[in-house]
Amino acid sequence: MMPGPGRSGLILEEPLLWEKGKEGRTAFSMPEQDVPECSGEVDRELLGNGPDFPDLSEMDIVRHYTRLSTWNFGIDTGMYPLGSCTMKYNPKINEKMAATPGIAASHPLLADELSQGALQVMFELQTFLATLTGMDAVSLQPAAGAQGEMAGMLVFASYFRKKGEKRNKILIPDTAHGTNPASAALCGFKPVQVKSGADGILDPKIVAELMDEETVGIMLTNPNTLGLFEESIREITAIVHGKGGLVYGDGANMNAVMGLVDFKRCGIDIMHLNLHKTFSTPHGGGGPGAGPVCVVEELEPFLPVPRIVKGRDSYHLEVDCPDSIGRLHAFFGNFGVLVRAYSYILSMGAENLKKASQLAVLNANYVRESLRDVLHLAYDKPCMHECVFSDKKQQEHKISTLDMAKRLIDHGYHPPTIYFPLVVPGAIMIEPTETENKDDLDQFITVFKDVAREAREDGERLRQSPMHSKVRRLDETLAARSPCLTG
Ligand SMILES: *Cc1c(COP(=O)(O)O)cnc(C)c1O
């Protein structure tokens, strides 16, 4: 047996509730009726027959959902090395804080005077995030990273409109997350791709060639999606500012740089953070999230409304901001996510946040060094929070990244991110995060080395994998073209 946590065995089958139900079963007992039966006419047609729900006992229901939950994989089940996602362990104290009755039941329609606690939490969270990034002002409004990007692009558009400048292009590196060009295009800008250099980072000379007075600026990610720090960041931002442009920083990879990088000093004008990645909200499966934007003073008037304003001894929400890009959604988005981030930051403290980032970087470099003999390293230099390999060494055995990723499932690991970023053919992107200890990392490394050995010696086994999972290898094209939605 392999050293990983993977096991076959008790994977229980479970039919749909409709297939499981038996007429007459019930999950509750009503007390005996002690009032006379209604003698009036009941309009049957008006009532209808009700939905056709299956009849189930309490145990039927409990087992059904408990079994389904065992088919799911999450960070509480095991290591989840999905690059570009920061799938780290989220301490349960932060869940508990978000579930505190006064917080969980607070209502967004209550008057400001009755929501002082909630407003204070949000105001202080903004202050923490400003301190962590080095920026001047923060809006917690965006509900996801991509919405933060869109807010940023709307801010850019408003800024140039106010200055009376017509600019319609935006520079975006070829390593960017797909949401970057999408957000820019949504706001009417034409994305212009910037090729990253042979060392995986941006070359200021190329940025200088592309930057002109019709370009609003650049959208860059630091550390970038190859897990590499953009070392020429200050030179690049100076070039963009020199042509009157602005710099958007995609801060989704903040887990690598908390307390380590001052983004304002790097020349960033606006950036978003993914609270659901770095600041302790469980994610994956589509949300909820929060993507606050942090800006320099000059861009503060454009931030979305409502803004939280601190008066002499109370807080209030301000919507009367003439230059604002307006509302992004109703109320304050996913408030519970903001509470988790607040609780996470307070429980960690400044020193430990910095340490978390340092450990995230250390862990990624440990994995990188430990696997470099068996996997091809896309860029052979120290990384930040994630490292990118490829299947180049396995190609001679006709084994692909997909085969290795599927085989990891047999050994109890969620596969890393694969085939992203696009600039690395056959990419395998591993982000271990700071929350895995050395024993767990060593176990993962041993398993991956064994998968690489199998690739050399027993390729057929890899091509057949996964063999011990609930379902075998799926035909992903067929699944997309003819989805079967009935189970
Ligand atoms: C995750 C991610 C995003 C998008 O964030 P969402 O909250 O999923 O919208 C943007 N950029 C980078 C680099 C990311 O990793």
Ligand 1 mean position, distance from CA 145 (Å): 5
Residue range 333-349, pLDDT digits in tens: 899 999 999 999 999 99
Mean pLDDT of 391-407: 97
Q: How far is CA 257 from the centre of its chain?
A: 16
User: What percent of the chain has a predicted confidence (pLDDT) above 90?
Assistant: 84
Confidence of residue 29 (pLDDT cuts 50, 70, 90): confident
pLDDT of amino acid 487: 57
Pairing of strands 376-377, 215-221: unpaired
263 pLDDT higher than 60: yes
Mean pLDDT of 402-426: 95
Residue range 103-120, pLDDT digits in tens: 999 999 999 999 999 999
Does the beta carbon of 273 lie inside 6 Å of ligand 1?
A: no
Pairing of strands 215-221, 169-173: parallel
403 in Cβ contact with 455 (< 8 Å) = yes
445 pLDDT higher than 70: yes
Does the beta carbon of 144 lie inside 6 Å of ligand 1?
A: yes
CATH of 349-481, one of 3.90.1150.10, 3.10.310.10, 3.40.50.10860, 3.30.830.10: 3.90.1150.10
pLDDT of amino acid 86: 96
Does the beta carbon of 138 lie inside 6 Å of ligand 1?
A: no
pLDDT of amino acid 6: 63
Q: Which residue has 């579930």 as its token pair?
A: 99
pTM: 0.91
9 pLDDT higher than 80: no
Please state the atom number of ligand 1 nearest to the C-alpha of residue 84.
15
Least confident stretch, 29-38, 192-201, 254-263, 371-380? 29-38
Nearest residue (CA) to ligand 1, atom 5: 145
Confidence of residue 216 (pLDDT cuts 50, 70, 90): very high
Ligand 1 mean position, distance from CA 85 (Å): 8
328, two tokens = 């992004």
Does the beta carbon of 78 lie inside 6 Å of ligand 1?
A: no
Domain extents in the chain:
93-346, 349-481
**What are the strands, taking DSSP E only, across 103-245?**
137-139, 169-173, 190-194, 215-221
Mean per-residue pLDDT over the chain, rounded:
94
Confidence of residue 480 (pLDDT cuts 50, 70, 90): confident
33 pLDDT higher than 90: no
Mean pLDDT of 75-92: 94
Least confident stretch, 28-42, 103-117, 363-377? 28-42
pLDDT of amino acid 333: 86
**Sign of the C-alpha dihedral, residues 86, 92, 97, 101?**
positive
Nearest residue (CA) to ligand 1, atom 14: 252
Residue range 177-188, pLDDT digits in tens: 999 999 999 999
Does the beta carbon of 183 lie inside 6 Å of ligand 1?
A: no
Ordered alpha helix ranges (H), 27-144: 44-47, 58-70, 92-98, 101-104, 116-133
Least confident stretch, 393-407, 438-452, 457-471? 457-471
pLDDT of amino acid 70: 86
Ligand 1 mean position, distance from CA 198 (Å): 24
Fold adopted by 93-346: Aspartate Aminotransferase; domain 2 (3.40.640)
Mean pLDDT of 84-99: 96
Q: How far apart are CA 106 and CA 118, in angstroms?
A: 8
Ligand 1 mean position, distance from CA 400 (Å): 26
Does the beta carbon of 84 lie inside 6 Å of ligand 1?
A: yes
Does the beta carbon of 146 lie inside 6 Å of ligand 1?
A: yes
Does the beta carbon of 443 lie inside 6 Å of ligand 1?
A: no
pLDDT of amino acid 38: 74
pLDDT of amino acid 52: 82
Q: How far apart are CA 22 and CA 383, in angstroms?
A: 57
210 in Cβ contact with 192 (< 8 Å) = yes
Pairing of strands 190-194, 315-318: unpaired
Please state the atom number of ligand 1 nearest to the C-alpha of residue 291.
7
Does the beta carbon of 386 lie inside 6 Å of ligand 1?
A: no
1 pLDDT higher than 70: no
CB contact set of 178 (below 8 Å; sequence gap of 6+)? none
User: What percent of the chain has a predicted confidence (pLDDT) above 70?
Assistant: 97
Q: Please indicate whether residue 412 or residue 486 has the higher confidence score (pLDDT).
A: 412
Does the beta carbon of 274 lie inside 6 Å of ligand 1?
A: yes
168 pLDDT higher than 70: yes
